[in-house]
Amino acid sequence: MKVLVTGGAGYIGSHTSLCLLEAGHEVVVIDSLVNSQLESLHRVQQLSGRNIDFHRVDLLDAPAVEAVVAGAGLDAVIHFAGLKAVGESVEKPLMYYQNNIVGTLNLLHAMDREGVRTLVFSSSATVYGASEEVPLTEKAPLDATNPYGRTKEQIEDILSDLSSADSRWSIALLRYFNPVGAHESGLIGEDPRGVPNNLLPFVAQVAVGRREKVLVYGNDYPTPDGTGVRDYIHVMDLAAGHLAALDFLKSTAGTFRWNLGTGRGSSVLEVIQAFSQAAGCAIPFDFAARRPGDAALSYADPSSALADLGWSALRDLARMCQDHWRWQRDNPFGYGEPN
């Protein structure tokens, strides 16, 4: 298949592009590089020994998107491109709605005109809001609590309306839990700009000496050790989930929703402990106040993905930390210079 990957230079996009190439697919990438680096794709090409057809295009530039899609002979699209920082989305909601929603509409128009109607969309478990009902099935009520999460929820609605109106569309909405880890080579991984918002990249930067200590947000949650529990999933397992979804969509029309998680929750303290073991060093931490908007517990019921796609996550927390550490250790400043 020939697959267009939007946001293909980003964290999950680069790992998924690698898996696509390794499975023999052709990959075209659109990325604005506002939040990613082209070096990631150079390394994907190095690892796979294959070329990527790269276009530096912002999805807000409708004619440029159209120009990439028209006549390209695409079979499917995997759509990762979007802004994703929760705090920034609260401060700049218009930027988030404009970028994520309008960008997606531009992509969909270009696909529809070209008759490319197979799409895997990068959604998030954040659409479930702070529900305490775990494990979360795909039937859990949607209740995103910030503009970033609402863009994911609204795009899910747009896509569902689209396939209801036109039965030629085949769409997968993949709701990721907490993606972590890196390719086992240590050549590609997550490279957040500035201070990381998410736990694993922060812990990794403490381990490599870039930051002094981790702040653990809350130790009075109703969880076994009082710290927040999440379903961390290895990015290579996540990437494999996209290939399984593409395969499913080849023969089935409609919109489908799948949780991509391991089904197991780990607390913040368990993550720090596992990372410390992987890195072979102590990870200093302090307890701090709860972070507003955080749920106590969030983990997936991933049984639908297993039943429908034959997919399940294979790598455990120790492996996630080992691979994440190898990437961080070998690339202490990610793909670029210190920031």
Is 93 near ligand UD1 (CB under 6 A)? no
Question: By beta-carbon distance, which residue lies closest to ligand UD1?
Answer: 228
35 binds ligand UD1 (CB under 6 A): no
- Cα gap 166→196, rounded to integer Å: 41
Stretch in the footprint of ligand UD1 (CB under 6 A) among 15-23, 46-54, 99-107, 286-294: 286-294
Query: Are 175 and 260 spatial neighbours (Cβ–Cβ below 8 Å)?
Result: yes
Cβ proximity to ligand UD1, 103 vs 149, nearer residue? 149
Catalytic positions are 148
Q: Does 110 contact ligand UD1 by CB under 6 A?
A: no
Select from 293, 304, 316, 329 the one that contacts ligand UD1 (CB under 6 A).
293
DSSP 190-249: ---SSS--SHHHHHHHHHTTSSS-EEEE-S-SSSTTSS-EE-EEEHHHHHHHHHHHHHHH
Spatial CA neighbour of 296 closest among 124, 131, 140: 131
Q: How far is the CB of 304 from ligand UD1 (least distance, A)?
A: 20
With binding defined as CB under 6 A, does residue 230 bind ligand UD1? Answer: yes
User: CB of 176 within 8 A of CB of 123?
Assistant: yes
78: nearest Cα among 167, 126, 18: 18
Strand partners, 164: none
Shortest Cβ 320–ligand UD1 spacing (Å): 12
- Name the β-bridge partners of 3: 27, 76
Among 9, 86, 236, 245, binds ligand UD1 (CB under 6 A): 86
Task: Tell me how far apart the alpha carbons of residues 48 and 37 are, in angstroms, rounded to a whole number.
Answer: 18
Question: Can you name the residues that pair with 6 across neighbouring β-strands?
Answer: 30, 79
Residues 203-222 that bind ligand UD1 (CB under 6 A): 214-217
DSSP 3-state of 56: strand
Tell whether residue 199 is a contact of ligand UD1 (CB under 6 A).
Answer: yes
- Euclidean distance between CA atoms 150 and 313, whole angstroms: 27
Q: Which is nearer to ligand UD1, 104 or 178 (CB)?
A: 178
- Closest distance to ligand UD1 from the beta carbon of 260 (Å): 12
96 vs 202 by CB, closer to ligand UD1: 202
Q: Which is nearer to ligand UD1, 67 or 281 (CB)?
A: 281
Q: Which of 121, 202, 256, 299 binds ligand UD1 (CB under 6 A)?
A: 202
Q: How far is the CB of 291 from ligand UD1 (least distance, A)?
A: 5
Asked if 126 touches ligand UD1 (CB under 6 A), the answer is yes
- Residue placing its CB nearer to ligand UD1 in the complex, 253 or 293: 293
Figure out which of the listed residues 6, 36, 178, 262 binds ligand UD1, where binding follows CB under 6 A. 178
DSSP 36: S
Count of residues that interact with ligand UD1, criterion CB under 6 A: 19
Q: Closest distance between ligand UD1 and the C-beta of residue 81, in Å?
A: 15
CA dihedral 247, 252, 255, 261 (to 10 degrees): -30
Contact region with ligand UD1 (CB under 6 A), list: 105-113, 155-163, 273-281, 287-295: 287-295
**H or E element: which one contains 150?**
helix 147-165
Query: Measured from the CB atom, is 117 or 230 closer to ligand UD1?
Result: 230
Establish if 287 lies at the interface with ligand UD1 (CB under 6 A): no
- 310-315: which pairs have CB atoms within 8 A and are 24 or more residues apart? 310/244, 311/240, 311/241, 311/244, 311/245, 311/260, 313/233, 313/234, 313/237, 313/238, 313/260, 313/261, 313/262, 313/263, 314/234, 314/237, 315/181, 315/234, 315/236, 315/237
Q: Interface with ligand UD1 by CB under 6 A: which residues?
A: 86, 124, 126, 149, 178, 197-199, 202, 214-217, 228, 230, 268, 291, 293-294
